[in-house]
Amino acid sequence: MANDQKKFQALIAHCKEYGFIFPSSEIYDGLSAVYDYGQNGSQLKKNIRDYWWKSMTQMHENIVGIDAAIFMHPTTWKASGHVDNFSDPMIDNKDSNKRYRVDHLIEGKAEQLENEGKTTEAKVLLQQMDDLLKVNDFPGLKKLIEDQKIACSISGTVNWTDIRQFNLMFSTQLGSTTEGASEIYLRPETAQGIFVNFLNVQKTGRMKIPFGIAQTGKAFRNEIVARQFIFRMREFEQMEMQYFVRPGTELEWYAFWKAERLKWHKSLGINPERLQYHDHSKLAHYANAAVDIEYNFPIGFKEVEGIHSRTDYDLSRHQQFSGKKIQYFDNEINKNYVPCVVETSIGLDRSVLMILSEAYEEEAVPTADPTKTDIRTVMHFPAFLAPIKLAILPLLKKDGLPEIARKLMDECKSQFYCWYEEKDSIGKRYRRQDAIGTPFCVTIDHQTKEDDTVTIRYRDSLKQDRIKLGEVKDKVLKAING
Ligand code: GAP
């Protein structure tokens, strides 16, 4: 399904129609690369976050979780290298002195071509831009702007400076100007909140190396290419774990986490053929090994998670910039040292997009007329991730059926998410549940009153069974926990 734009657009439309994801502040025409999660999307996202948290912390005795603030002391970002190195290209017009982001300029031209009906030219232009951005080819990007005769909207001229870097961090003011406000940043990654708390956690938790610190939370980047739905956002959520190890053992632990994280992705029910490693050939100056786990989205294989062996770079830099000793005494070897770090860093929004892409299907299904089929849109979420686990549907709004259904609802709702619905035909209600990925529907009918049985309908197989009312809760619990 590489580069299946049609499927991607259908998925985006489905997400909006069924309460998964909406453009942010849509009534004001939205905000570029910012999205809101709706009633089903936020529950799906929470289920993925909870599963990651449990896999990392509860399932590993030597990994603990924290929740650090988004705002951090500004020196944090000098120490981490983000102030100097976390940037993207921009260009100025010499006549108007107006500054543009290179991607905005070229995207504007592509939009103009699109409006003129030159769709292929627009696509080629965007592809050329992406290719040049990927390799930081600034002269190539400037030439593209000149070749396309892209003019400044104010001066109308094509008199451009060379392209320079633009920092991706969002900044704001802490305190009022009269108090002498200082500039601080919205964190561009959650990892630094873990590094600056290394000693706090190690000492108060009496943690022995090797051990890990995990955290989930928002990160912010003024992204330069932001056209791919929730794949690349300006406000997004990360789930990161820093594993602190004895120097010299970091590559062994890197290999361990590389394998472990791929297993985790497979445990989400992802088809292994749609997962791959992408080893980094060009390493960041602080890393001695790095790999991405990629998923085959409808827009092709792309990064969902990065695993990096970051050496002792981060803790050493914080030691240097803070002037505080950040070291660990290893009594097994009777030595003090700055630990090395192996990082696993996964985007929660990209995980949501991966699960949505994997689950989405437009499937031909039989109808009452054997010569015809119908199309249903179904989300095949694994039961433990589905936003709603069980739909409880009385066949009619009378004859005591709603009362039996409500009783079942009361028994189940403290254990898992249920949905009660009595409107519309049963077929229409089933379809709505398929569209949001509810694995089980239970119908209460007149026979229920006679023999205490209900019809349970399975989302994926469309099979229907008659089971005892009293068995419903355990059946669903088994599927969720299994
Ligand atoms: N601490 C390391 C770090 O932040 P990264 O590769 O820049 O590394 C880690 O980001 C993960 O965060 C990525 O693999 C991706 O899933 C997610 N991510 C990064 N930028 C993103 C964005 N603009 N929108 C959505 N997710 C993003």
User: Could you read off the pLDDT of 339-394 as tens digits, one per residue?
Assistant: 999 999 999 999 999 999 999 999 998 888 889 999 999 999 999 999 999 999 99
pLDDT digit string, tens, across residues 413-463? 999 999 999 999 999 999 999 999 999 999 999 999 999 999 999 999 999
pLDDT digit string, tens, across residues 162-218? 998 888 999 998 887 666 668 899 999 999 999 999 999 999 999 999 999 999 999
pLDDT digit string, tens, across residues 77-116? 999 999 988 887 889 999 998 878 898 899 889 989 988 9
- Which residues of the chain form CATH 3.30.930.10? 5-85+168-356
Mutate to test the pocket of ligand 1, among 261, 278, 345 (most ligand atoms within 8 A of CB): 345
pLDDT digit string, tens, across residues 298-327? 999 999 999 999 999 999 999 999 999 999
H/E stretch holding 308? strand 300-309
Residue 2 has pLDDT above 50, yes or no: no
- Which residues of the chain form CATH 3.30.40.230? 87-167
State the pLDDT at residue 179.
63
Report CA dihedral (333, 209, 303, 437) to the nearest 10 degrees.
Answer: 150
Q: What is the mean pLDDT of residues 119-128?
A: 93
d(CA 83, CA 321): 13
CATH superfamily of 388-481: Anticodon-binding domain (3.40.50.800)
Residue 35 has pLDDT above 90, yes or no: yes
User: What are the distances in angstroms from CA 161 to CA 157, 164, 371?
Assistant: 12, 9, 67
Ligand 1 site, residue 189, Cβ cutoff 6 A: yes
Q: What is the mean pLDDT of residues 263-272?
A: 97
**60-97 as b/e: b if 16+ CB within 10 A:** eeebbbbebeeebeeebbebbebbeebbbbbbbbeeee
Q: What is the mean pLDDT of residues 245-252?
A: 98
State the pLDDT at residue 3.
59
Residue 7's pLDDT band (cuts 50, 70, 90): very high
d(CA 479, CA 409): 18
Mutate to test the pocket of ligand 1, among 190, 231, 350, 357 (most ligand atoms within 8 A of CB): 350
Atom number, ligand 1, closest to the C-alpha of residue 305: 14
Residue 225's pLDDT band (cuts 50, 70, 90): low
Using the mean position of ligand 1's atoms as its centre, give its distance from the Cα of residue 191 in Å: 11
State the pLDDT at residue 257.
98
Ligand 1 site, residue 305, Cβ cutoff 6 A: yes
Cis peptide before 339 (omega within 30 of 0): no
Residue 153's pLDDT band (cuts 50, 70, 90): confident
CATH architecture, range 5-85+168-356: 2-Layer Sandwich (3.30)
Using the mean position of ligand 1's atoms as its centre, give its distance from the Cα of residue 13 in Å: 24
CB 342 within 8 A of CB 309: yes
Tell me the whole-structure pTM to 2 decimals: 0.89
Residue 283's pLDDT band (cuts 50, 70, 90): confident
Q: Give nearest CA residue, ligand 1 atom 16.
A: 347
CB 356 within 8 A of CB 366: no
DSSP type of residue 179? G
Distance of CA 271 to the CA centre of its chain: 18
CB 347 within 8 A of CB 234: no
Mutate to test the pocket of ligand 1, among 88, 222, 236 (most ligand atoms within 8 A of CB): 236
Q: Who contacts 37 (Cβ-Cβ below 8 Å, separation ≥6)?
A: 20, 21, 22, 45
Residue 264 has pLDDT above 90, yes or no: yes
Q: Which residue has better confidence, 318 or 283? A: 318
Residue 123 has pLDDT above 50, yes or no: yes
Structure tokens at 3: 């580069």
Q: Who contacts 462 (Cβ-Cβ below 8 Å, separation ≥6)?
A: 365
Ligand 1 site, residue 359, Cβ cutoff 6 A: no
Largest CA distance in the chain: 85
d(CA 159, CA 100): 13
Q: Give nearest CA residue, ligand 1 atom 4.
A: 189
The region that residue 463 occupies, defined by phi over 0 for left and psi between -120 and 50 for alpha, beta otherwise, is beta
State the pLDDT at residue 178.
61
Using the mean position of ligand 1's atoms as its centre, give its distance from the Cα of residue 147 in Å: 33
d(CA 142, CA 124): 16
State the pLDDT at residue 169.
95
Atom number, ligand 1, closest to the C-alpha of residue 231: 25
d(CA 417, CA 394): 17
Q: Give nearest CA residue, ligand 1 atom 7.
A: 189
Q: What is the mean pLDDT of residues 26-35?
A: 92
Q: What is the mean pLDDT of residues 458-474?
A: 97
pLDDT digit string, tens, across residues 39-55? 999 999 999 999 999 99
- Which residues of the chain form CATH 3.40.50.800? 388-481
Q: Give nearest CA residue, ligand 1 atom 15.
A: 347
Ligand 1 site, residue 240, Cβ cutoff 6 A: yes
| β-pair partners for 136 | none
Domain 87-167 sits in CATH at 3.30.40.230
Average pLDDT of the chain, as a whole number: 94
Residue 1's pLDDT band (cuts 50, 70, 90): very low
Half-sphere exposure at residue 139, Cβ-oriented, CA atoms within 13 angstroms: 0
> How many helices (H) and strands (E) are present in the chain, helices listed first?
16, 23
Q: Give nearest CA residue, ligand 1 atom 22.
A: 232
Q: Who contacts 400 (Cβ-Cβ below 8 Å, separation ≥6)?
A: 449
H/E stretch holding 408? helix 401-412
Question: Which residue in this structure is represented by tokens 């990096």?
Answer: 308
- Reported residue count of the chain is 482
The region that residue 225 occupies, defined by phi over 0 for left and psi between -120 and 50 for alpha, beta otherwise, is beta
Rounded to 5°, the CA angle 474-476-477 comes to 60
Q: Give nearest CA residue, ligand 1 atom 10.
A: 345
State the pLDDT at residue 84.
87
